[in-house]
Structures are given as C-alpha cells and as structure tokens.
Structure 1
Amino acid sequence: MAEAALLLVTTKIGIAVGVEMLHYARSVAKLSENMTLIRNDQELIRAFLKEIGRKASTDGVTETWTGQVRRLAYDMEDIVDQFVYIVGKQHQKGSWWSSVKKILKKPQYLFTLGEIATGLEKINRALTHLKENRDWIQPITGVGDIFATNYDSQQQLYLPGHDYSISDDELVGFDKNRKLLMGSLNLENCLNLQIIALWGMGGIGKSTLVSNVFRYEASNFECRVWVSVSQSYKLDDIWRRMLKEIYPKDKKEFDAEKMTCAELQDELKAILKTKRYLIILDDIWTAEDFRKITEVLVDAKMGSRIIMTTRSEEVASIAPDGCRIKVVPLEEEDAWRLFCRKAFPSTGNHICPLALQECGKLIVGRCDGLPLALVAIGSLLSLKTQNVTEWKLFDAQLISELHKNDNLSRVEKILNLSYKYLPDYLKSCFLYCAMFPEDHLIHRKRLIRLWVAEGFVEQIGNCSLEDVAEGYLTQLVQRSMLHVVERNSFNRIRCLRMHDLVRELAIYQSNRESFSTTYDDSHGVMHVESGSRRMSVLQCKNGIRPSTGQCRLRTFIAFSTSNASSSLFPSESKYLAVLELSGLPIETVPNSIGELFNLKYLGLNNTNVKILPKSVTKLHNLETLSLRDTDCLSLPRGSEKLKRVRHIIILKLLDKTYASFKCFEPMEPLEGLWNLKDLQTLGAVRASKIFVSKLASLSQLRILNIVGVRSSHCA
C-alpha cells in the first residue's frame, strides 16, 4: 500500500506548491521547486510499485524496498505539512508581503524555512539512494510474474473455494438462492440469451453455489463451460479454454494453441450460434471484463444462459432485474451447522461436544457467517484433539493462523484479493474503517468527514469533497468491502459495518504498513508500535505508553478509556489532523490544543466539556467541530477566523427520544458566523435577527438546524 501513501503525499505537494505567495518569495519558491522535483520522482516510483503490485507474489527484497518507500513518503508528508503551516501564516494578519518578510527574517513558529530546507535535502538524498537500490529488485520481480504464466496454470491460484468444495448435504443456508438460480436457468418460455449474476464478498459461497447447480443442470445444455477470470487474465487464453471445452474431444485437426485471437473469436461464434450453451464466468471484476469476454457469445434464441459471479454490485447490475442474486453471510444457526459438519465429520449428526460448544461458538462468531472460513477452520479443527485448552489456544491465535497455516492461507488470499485490486485512492479509505471496534456501526457522515480531514479525498471538478467521498463509500459497498446496515428515507447510506474477519485482516495489513495501530489493553499491558501514523484506542485501562513514533501521529481516535482527561490529549503529536474523543469522560480541553496546527477534525460528542479554550481559534485548518450532546453551547470569541471550517455541530439533547417539540438546546450565534463561507453543516443555532438576515452569505450550507425563528425574522 506504499502506492496509496505516495498518492496522498504527491496530492499534498500539489496543493502546497500552488499557494499564491510562492510566486513572490524567492526562498519559498525555491522550496516549492524542490518539492515539485520530489513529487515527480515519487510519481515514477508509484508507477513502478503499481507494476510490482500486479505480480502474483513478491520477494523479501521487494518488500523491504517498498517499506522504505512508504517511510520516505511519510517523512515527505511531515515536511509538506510544515511548509503549509509556514506559508499559511500570511492569511492570519496583515498583507502577504509583510508576512513573508516576518517569516524570512525571524523564525517565530513551530517550524522554520531552514528546517524545511534541510528536511528536503535529506528526502532528496534518500530518494536518490532508493532509485539506485531499485536495480536490486529488477531481476527478482519476474519470478512471481503472473503474466508469464498461461491461463491453465493460474486456475488453482484464483479459483475461489474449490479446495474446500462442499458436498450436497453440506450446502447449508443456500436453499433460497439455489431455487432462484435454478429458476433462472429453467425459464421455459424465455429463449433469449439470459445473464444471471451472483454477487457478494469473497468467500461468501458464490462459486460453491454455482458449482452445485452446474453439476445438475449442465446436462440440459449442449455446450457447458466453466471459466475462472483472474485480474490478470488474457482474453485469448479465456477464449482458448472455452473452445477446448466446447470442441468434441476426438477432433484431431483442432489445435487451439496455434490460433490467433481473431481466429478464436470467429470459431467460437460459428459454433455457439448453433448451440444451446451454459457459460459460467467465475469472479468477474469489472463490467469491461464481462463485455470483452462475452463478445463471442451469440444469442441464437435457443435458451442459452450465462452465469457470472462477482464481488461487485456494479458488475452484477449488468444482469436484468430478477436475475441478480445477492449472496449474504449465513445466519447464526446455519453457520453453526456448517461448522459442526466440517469439525465433527465422524460424529453422529455432527454434534459438538458440550465442553467445546462455548469456545466453538466464539470461533464461529469470528467467521461472521463466511462459509469459506467456516469450512476451512472447521476442517482444520477436525484434525486437532477435541480439547477445550487446544481450541481456546486456536481461537486466540486465529488471525496469526490465517497468515501462517497452509490449510487456512486460502481464506486470507481470497479475502485479501479484494483489497489488493482496490484503486489506490480507496485503499486508505478501506483500512481506515478497521480502526473502528468490532461490529461498530460506522455512520456515513462521520466517516466521510474523517476521510476528508485525512486528505484521502481528491477534488474532482466542481464536486464538493464530501460528494466525492460519498462516491468512494458507494464503491466500497459495491465491491462488497463494507456492508450497509441501514439506509435513510432517501435511500442514502446511514450506517455500515465491516465483516469481522475482513476487519481483522485489514488490521493486520494496517500494522504491517504502519498505516494505523489498534490499541486494546483489556487483556494486559500493550505498547504502541513505533512509526504508526494513526492510533485507535479500543480499550485503555493501564495508560498508553508513548513511543518515539507517536509524535508523528496523524489520527488519534479513542472509543473507551478509564484514564483521566489529561492523558487523552496527545500533546506531543503536533501533526494531528484528527482528534476524535467522543463519548469519553472529558471535562476540560487543555489550552495546548491550539498547538495542533494541522488539526482538521475535532470530535467531542457526548463528553462533559462545558467550554472550549480560546486557543481553539488558532486551529486555522479546522474543518469539522462536533460537540453534540455536551454542555458547551458557545464558541470562543474569535472563532470567525476559522475560515476553513465546513461542519459545526453544537447542541445539547434535552429529550433523546425526540418526542417533544423542544428536544435540544442550540448554540448561541457567534458574531461573524456568517463569514464562514465554506460552512456546509450548522446545527443547532438559535435564531437572531442579524443572523437570519445574513444567512444568504452561507452559500455552501446544506444542513441548517435553526431554533427560535420568529415572525419578525421572516423578512
């Protein structure tokens, strides 16, 4: 995921060097020029890494080199944030030229131009060294190159679930979808070529279900072909395999290996226009893949069928209404039955011993209804001693087992395949979701604001960052990486959750790439991993032990802690962009918060905070300020200087059932509140004559919660 880190920092550099004053200050412009050169190098490295990422496997040297690239990108991000902080001072007071003179004359801020210049020189030297070392990995990367292999040799790598194929009596929880699929195949009055799509997350059982139906229905079709489509497929290999399956085995003059792509296409069309065929396209990734492959599938009005499986809702939408089947995780009862059938194959009725039931259900719960995991883990446990101690040890080491145990590695590969082929701009967004606790309901608005604050969202045309981020969220849902739990009355996503096993693998990936660390000391003392950019505190009873890397944190999110409030504000983390402490026992916000020059998101919902310190007005990058259901109902004087703020949510709930007309207490309108031109969300605010008259100034406003509007305000 070094590509995603490089994407983030190159985007930041582009913003930084675009500052207007750079055209006037020679020293600052020189820094801008150096940063542009670094960005160009990083773009080349990113392109190189994308090529590496297309390989089936990578070696240790490549992994080490990629890790060095990632760390360098993080160092560059620090430099860029320092630079933006320095030049940003021009907007705070006086003319831009006087600000430049003050910056050049006397270092008076957290960082100086000299420090930034020195940092850039170190980055440049490190980049040069990295580019030289890249030669080491050139001959090695070809070893795992999946482009060098033919289609047939890739099958075992990409065929989902075939190592753990389920027999008919073990096809648990699929009855409804099996009937739907059979019904779509046997539409007697429909002779048109019909496309049927099954979609859902990796390992959910799509291929297993289709394989079962294929076994029974294939004889009703003259031609039957099963094609597994990898991300790196070659079209001629796909067509060649189809032709081999279709041609009579005794046709000696047939040699598909020597045929060109055009010849394969013509031959397939010529055969299929005279046959009733059933084609299975397993694991289709994009609509374009489907379009290319199906160019040879002629509709001869003979009742032919195409069944495709996919992880993407967007791809599944190719199939008509009524022929799209969403495969969802198994219900708790079905999951337990499937697990027991694999874990106790020799026991009468596959009954789990009473002593193992508690631990067994914990393991099944970790699988979260995912058939692939249930079958693989159940099969592995069937080989172990039926002993509570051994089962508990296995449960405690489950995630480690997924990475190390050859019998479970397929589960990890299939789940990680979805992550591997995410676009770079979605990888960070996806890993970010793993920072929330297990089974946590992630609210759309909150998540989008966090992504924007992190800088993950790229400006596209005239769309707001929030609209672009919602598009990202939709893509992750369509790719089955996140699951919608609830939608609002406008059918927009209200809240989501992450599959438990997917979350665990994402946490592992986040730690491996220093993206984030989840902190939970409920089972003993923990130490924070050095160098991680983000920290999520799930449980904190013993106090967080700071590390040398903690000063470079970009995000600090705490969900539960019994610590005193003073330890909840990581004052040494000057680069923080996100500080989310909602729901914690906080009564005061320290004045030192004003030193967090990079802070863009401050969340203090459901806390005991009564007043914000004056230093909050120094947070000139602040975009989101949320104090929902607190006793703090006013902003400090001078808050109108927070020109970049986009969302202000300040109110105290009086009736959490929302049954009464007056269910919350609003904030008092601040003098100059109407000058915050980027404001999109404002709630709740008490109406006043002057504020209502100035509302038209807030042209970006989308959500307004205003209380106490009188007839005298109407004009």
Structure 2
Amino acid sequence: MAAAAVVTVSMGVMKPVLAKLTTLMGDEYKKLKGLRKEVTFLQHELRGMDALLEKMDLADELDPQAKNWRKDIIEMSYDIEDRIDDFMQHVGEADNRVGNLQKASQYLKTFKDRRRLANQFDEIKTKVMEASERRKRHMLDQSISITAHVAVDPRLLALYKESVSLVGIDAQRNEIVNWAMDKGQQLKLMAIVGFGGIGKTTLANEVYSEVGREFDCKAFVSVSQKPEMIGLFNSLLSQLGLGTYSHACQLQDPINKLREHLLNKRCEVQLIPFYRYFIIIDDLWDMRAWYVIQCTFPPNNQCSRVILTTRNEDVARSCCGNHGCIHNMKPLSDQDSRKLFFGRIFGSENDCPSQLRKASYEILKKCDGLPLAIITMASLLACQQMRLEGQWEYIHNSLATKFATNSNYEEMMYILDLSYKNLPRHLKACFLYLGSYPEDHEIGKVELIRRWVAEGFVSNSVGEDVWDVAESYFNELVNRSMIQPSYDRYNIRISGCRVHDMLLELIVSRCKEDNFLSLVNDPQTVAEVQGKVIRRLNVVSLRGTEDDDVAITIAVNLAQIRSLSIRGQSNWIPSLLEFKFMRVLSLDISFL
C-alpha cells in the first residue's frame, strides 16, 4: 500500500507536550530559576517540529530518512512528556500562603529532585537540538512531496464491473431510478451516503447507465480528496462535447461555459430551450469543492437531476438542503453476501465443499456485508490452488499480514485508507485509539470520550466544555462513516458504536507500525513487546487449542505506560504501584 504508508498519530503525541510546556510557563513555576528560558526554547523547537510532522501527515510517501526522523520525534515527545510529568510531580512550587520555614523545608526536600530533573532537562534540550540538526542536514522540509506518486484509483474499476457481478443492489437501484424519472420539473439533487467500499460508486453507475439515455446530456465525474477544479470541469466539458480549457484559465471560464450549455443547449441550427441534464459527482469529500461545483448546475426547471456520492453525512445534508434527498447505502444481507462470495469462488453456495463452509461463514462475518470486502476476500480464496480447510482458516486469521501484498487486498485497503487519511488531524489519534477494543465489541460512547479526554486527545478553547468537544469528535467520526453508531433500547439515542472489522484491521496495523498502541493476545505478540518502549498496552486473554489459558508474562517498563487495558481472565495483573503516569486503566473480566 504505497499511498498509505504514513500513519498520523503525531497530533496525539505532540499536543499534550506543548500544553504541558505552557503550564510550566504559568505562575506556579515562575520562581524556578532558568526554567522559563529552557521551556521557551523547547516550545519554539517543538512547535517547528510539529509543523513539519503535520506536513508529513499529508504526504503520500516518505523516504526512509524522513520516516526515521518522524519516528524518533514521536518517541522523543513521549520521553519529554514523561520528564515534565516527573518534574511537576516532584518539584512543584510551595503555596504562597505557607510560611518561609515551610517553603525552605520543601526546597530542601526537593533539592535532589531539582538537580536530577535539571540534568534531565539538559538531556532533553540536547536531544531536541540534535533532532533539529538532523532535520537541516537531511533537508527534510524540502524532501517531502505531497504529490510524489500517483496511483490508479481503484474506485475507477467499479465503473466497469459487469452487471452480472452486482448482487443485492436491485432494490436500491430501482428506488433511485424512480426518483430520477419522476415528473417533477425543478432541478433535484440526491446524495448517496455510506461507508467507503460499500458500493456507492457501483450503485450510482448502475443508475447512470439505466436512466442516462433519457436525458439530453449526461456526465459522471469523480472528485479527489484535493480536487484540481480545472481538471474536474474539463472532464465535465469533455463528456458534454464542449472541448477543454487550459489549466492557466480562470476558474469562472469553464463554469460559465457549463452553465450556459446546461441552461440552454445550443446546436448548429437553433437554440433548444428545453434541456434535461443528468450529472453524477462521485466521492465528494467536503463542502469547499461542492460550493464551486454547484455553480455549474443552473435550475432550468426541465426535470434535470444531480446525484452525488459521499462518505460524510454532514456533506450530504449540506448539499441537499431542504429540497434534496439522501439515500443511505445499506450493506448486503446475509443471503446476498453469500451469493456474491460463493458465486465468485464456486459459482454457487451449493457447490462449496462442506468442510470449507464454516471458515467461509467466518470470513463473511468479517466482511460484514461490505461488497468490496466480500469480493476481495473471495478473490483471495479463489486464487488458492488447493482449497483446504486449514488453508482457509489460515487466510481468515492472517488477512492483514501475509496477504497484505495481494493486489485485491491493496485495492480494498486503499479505499478504506482514503477515509482515514482524509480525517482532520485532531481525529486521527482518536480513531486509532479504537484499536483498544476487540473485534465486534460495542463501544460505549461515554466510556470512549472519557478515555479520549484522559489521553489528552481533546482540545477545547476557552469557554468550551471538554466533554462537549469530545462528543463532537465522536459525532464527526459517525458522520464520516468511520464508526457505526449503535442505539439505546428505544432506538432513539446513540449510546455507542462499533468498528467495521476491516477498518479495525487497518487500525491495528497502523498502531503497530507507529508504536501507538501495543496489543498482546497470544505468545507471539508477547514476544514482540518484550523490552519495547510501550505507552498504551492492551492485554486480551485467549484460550489455546486445548482450552488452556495462554500464559502471559510481559517484561516492559511499566513506568512508561500511560494506558492499560486488560480483558478476560489474564494471568498478568501487575501492581499498580509500578505505574508512574497512568492515565487510563480499564479492567474488563467479562470479555470471555
């Protein structure tokens, strides 16, 4: 996955450090000699590094030097935060209300701590200066290219899928066809909303193919995350037979030409005042692009129709306003999922060998009705020369590792990763934190936002309630289809969420790559974390093949762990006295 190599957790690392440096500049520590000078230096350097980290977050690909520097800065940020917390815990200023004798007593008690921590601040300063020199020496600012590599967008392939391979969208297609072909004269807009890979493009293309011939002109254009608007309008112009513009033109030039054409179609003989158009705008990411695109659609009251697809419910609502219509994509039913899955491998479910059915159903459960996931997994299995039960079980258990280089898998993960990469920076750490929860787990909203706040992921301005801000983060992830909301028993209030299994695969691999979160659930993963610097640790008790608990003994520096989650009947329960800077502790023995 070349375009998905960058993992963005830097905001979740650097933000708490900068906030604590600001605290050290407060009145509580103003009498500590030399502290303000050191803190000011660190603030200046780290803010500069944070700006570069943000630039790296947007890059399509990083060279090895940039990756190593970025990884070192993240680890250094964790270390700095540990030192600051240690400093605040041991060397706070005495209350001004106490007497001079008590102040002198506190000073003497903390003298050794002051000396030790002063030396640690010197070490921090040295590391920061070395990192700054490496940045200049390797010219990292100049080496980062936001558009270094351009890959074929796999969404394009959905346009050319044969109709016979489409399963389970007949009802949805007919609903939208009926909407498009009704007799209403005013311009109508529909937004198709759903999770990445659920089939929005395929559905829109099926509607386009079926009803497009009923309109005087039609066009189908895709919007990228960072759309080049002249190129987008040139695609529209080309499909309408109007030529193209140079990229040096003014944006209003193609807009004016499109408006004029769509308002009144001109031909060689006469002006045709009654002109119906049908336009599909595929994969719209934000409102900024829509504000420009919508300028090309004049309300000519001739039964014209515009359909857009998006992963973001807020975008859909804003685009449609009071007069549009929103169609929420539905995942495939169990029956349609099986039809698509078994049809790809065997031709039909009846032709599947009995010994492979259990593994097949487990894989289908993992795909959770997501057409792209089902097709991808079925393609992986269909390509296996020998169809053995153990082989299918192995594939089920290792989809995100051994088969990560398979082109079909890459296509699916690329599409899923697009949603992740498009998240605002403040949401990326919150999203990756969902890897703290096991597969198919219903995550309580209140618990989740409390953990986000405790981890320091939530920023609130003066006058804002931090819990309200955290809840807005949750709502934004729901609106972006990154999490699936679950409701209370009255089906009224959103009480929690679930994470699609495929997105969880993405989260876990990213967490592992950037050491954001460490998961221990078997002897192999125990070995992977031994002696490793860990900040967030999740321990899940599993049972072995003989129904014996897997013994877990972990040798890590517990003082550095900020978040600990233990689920199941774990054999490893450390003493809480060993944790110096614990923020989150979650013990759940009801998991197994």
- Taking structure 1 as the reference length, the TM-score comes to 0.73
Match status 1:579 vs 2:585: yes
The aligned counterpart of 2:283 is 283
Identify the residue that residue 224 of structure 1 maps to in structure 2.
218
Which runs of structure 2 are paired with 1:340-355 in the superposition (5 Å)? 340-344=342-346, 347=347, 351-355=351-355
Contact 2:535 2:562 in 1 (8 A): yes
Quote the residue 1:16 is aligned against: 23
After TM superposition, list the pairs within 5 Å mapping 1:384-399 onto structure 2: 384-385=384-385, 386-399=387-400
Q: How far apart, in 1, do the equivalents of 2:508 and 2:257 lie?
A: 49
Structure 1 counterpart of 2:206, from 203, 207, 212: 212
Q: Is residue 68 of structure 2 the alignment partner of residue 64 of structure 1?
A: yes
* Alignment match, 1:698: none
**Secondary structure at 1:434 match in 2:** helix
Task: Give the match's secondary structure for 1:197.
Answer: strand
State the 1:527 CA deviation: 4.9
Whole-Å Cα distance in 2 between the matches of residues 581 and 413 of structure 1?
34
Q: CA deviation at 1:343?
A: 2.0
Tell me by how many angstroms 1:203 deviates: 0.9
Provide the residue aligned with 1:273 in structure 2. 263
Task: Give yes or no for the alignment of 1:551 onto 2:559.
Answer: yes
Alpha-carbon spacing, 1:277–1:96, altered in 2? closer, same or farther (3 Å) = farther
Alignment of 1:152-551 (within 5 A): 156-157=152-153, 159-160=154-155, 162=157, 166-188=161-183, 190-248=184-242, 256-257=246-247, 259-274=249-264, 275-317=275-317, 318-320=319-321, 323-344=325-346, 347=347, 351-385=351-385, 386-401=387-402, 403-487=404-488, 491-521=492-522, 526-528=527-529, 530-539=532-541, 541-551=549-559
Considering fraction of residues, name the structure with more helix: 2
Q: Give the letter aligned to residue 509 of structure 2.
A: Y
Secondary structure (helix, strand or coil) at the match of 1:472 reads: helix
Select which of 91, 95, 98 maps to 2:98: 95
Q: 1:41 to 1:286 in 2, by over 3 A?
A: same
Query: Deviation per CA, 1:107-128, whole angstroms, max 9, x where unpaired?
Result: 38xx923333222222222222
Query: Cα offset for 1:214?
Result: 1.2
- Secondary structure (helix, strand or coil) at the match of 1:227 reads strand
Secondary structure at 1:112's aligned position in 2? helix
1:404-448 alpha-carbon deviations (Å, 9 max, x no partner):
222311111111121112122211111112211111111111112
Q: How does 1:514-663 map to 2 (within 5 A)?
A: 514-521=515-522, 526-528=527-529, 530-539=532-541, 541-563=549-571, 567-583=573-589
Q: Distance in 2 between matches of 1:85 and 1:486?
A: 42
SS in 2 for 1:372: helix
Q: Distance in 1 between matches of 2:513 and 2:100?
A: 45
> Does structure 2 retain, via aligned residues, the 8 Å contact 1:221–1:277?
yes
Q: Is the 8 A contact 1:453 1:577 kept in 2?
A: yes
- State how far apart, in whole Å, the 2-side matches of 1:88 and 1:165 are: 66
Q: Secondary structure at the match of 2:301?
A: coil
| CA drift at 1:257 | 5.0
State the Cα distance separating 1:137 from its structure 2 match.
5.3
Any idea what SS the aligned residue of 1:26 has? coil
Determine helix, strand or coil for the equivalent of 1:505.
helix
Q: Does 1:5 align with 2:12?
A: yes
Mapped partners of 2:97, 2:141: distance in 1: 58
After TM superposition, the structure 1 = structure 2 runs for residues 25-174 of structure 1, keeping only pairs within 5 Å, are: 25-27=31-33, 30-87=34-91, 90=94, 95=98, 101-107=104-110, 112-135=113-136, 136=138, 138=140, 141=143, 145-146=146-147, 156-157=152-153, 159-160=154-155, 162=157, 166-174=161-169
Deviation, structure 1 residue 100: 5.7
When residues 211 and 453 of structure 1 are mapped into structure 2, their CA distance, relative to the original with a 3 A threshold, is same
Q: Give yes or no for contact 1:164–1:372 (8 Å, CA) kept in 2.
A: no
Separation in 1 of the partners of 2:212 and 2:299? 18
| 1:192 Cα offset (Å) | 1.7
Q: CA deviation at 1:495?
A: 1.7
Contact residue 197 and residue 325 of structure 1 kept, 8 A? yes
Q: Is the 8 A contact 1:59 1:140 kept in 2?
A: no
CA–CA separation in structure 1 for the residues paired with 2:316 and 2:583: 38
Q: Match for 1:306: what amino acid? A: V
Cα offset, 1:170, TM superposition: 2.9
Contact 1:277 1:305 in 2 (8 A): yes
**Deviation at residue 524 of structure 1 after TM alignment:** 8.8
Equivalent-residue separation in structure 1 for 2:514 and 2:99 (angstroms): 40
Equivalent residues of 1:224, 1:246 under 8 A apart:
yes
Partner of 2:5: none
Q: Which amino acid aligns with 1:68?
A: D
Q: Find the aligned partners of 1:226 and 1:473 in 2 and give their Cα distance.
A: 33
Could you say what secondary structure the match of 2:401 adopts? helix
| Count of equivalent residues | 564
Question: Which residue in 2 is equivalent to 1:675?
Answer: none
Instruction: Please say if residues 2 and 66 of structure 1, whose CA atoms lie closer than 8 Å, have aligned partners that are also in contact.
Output: no
Tell me the distance in 1 between the aligned counterparts of 2:113 and 2:295.
Answer: 61
Change (3 A) 1:96 1:361: farther
Question: Letter of the aligned partner of 2:376 in structure 1?
Answer: A
| AA partner of residue 176 (structure 1) | A
Map of 1:629 onto structure 2: none
Cα distance in structure 2, aligned partners of 1:88 and 1:483: 44
Partner deviation per Cα, 1:566-595 (whole Å, 9 max, x = no partner): x2435432121111224479xxxxxxxxxx
* Shift of residue 483, structure 1, vs aligned partner: 0.8
Q: Give 1:440's aligned amino acid.
A: H
- Structure 1 residues 90, 260: CA separation in 2 closer, same or farther (over 3 Å shift)? same
Alignment-derived partner of residue 631 in structure 1:
none
Q: Could you give the per-residue CA deviations for residues 206-225 of structure 1, whole angstroms, max 9, x where no partner exists?
A: 11111111122221222222
1:167 positional shift = 2.7
The answer to whether the Cα contact below 8 Å between 1:510 and 1:517 also exists between their aligned partners in 2 is yes
Q: Once the two structures are superposed, what CA deviation does each residue of 1:133-161 show, in whole Å capped at 9, x if it has no partner?
A: 2242548845x542x78xxx66x23x526
- TM-score of the superposition, structure 2-length normalised? 0.87
Cα contact 1:527–1:545 (8 A) shared by 2:
no
CA-based RMSD: 3.0
Q: What's the CA shift string for 1:260-279, capped at 9, x where partnerless?
A: 32322222222121242222
1: CA distance, partners of 2:348 / 2:479: 42
Deviation, structure 1 residue 517:
1.2
Distance 2:241 2:509 in 1: 47
Amino acid at match of 2:109: K
For 2:508 and 2:81, the matched residues in 1 are separated by 22
Instruction: Percent identity, please.
Output: 27
Give 3-state SS (helix, strand or coil) of 2:462's partner: coil
Question: Is 2:159–2:202's contact at 8 Å kept on the other side of the alignment?
Answer: no
d(CA) in 1 for partners of 2:24, 2:174: 60
Q: Distance in 1 between matches of 2:405 and 2:290?
A: 35
Find the aligned partners of 1:337 and 1:577 in 2 and give their Cα distance: 47
SS of corresponding position for 1:282: strand
Maintained 8 Å contact 1:527/1:544: no
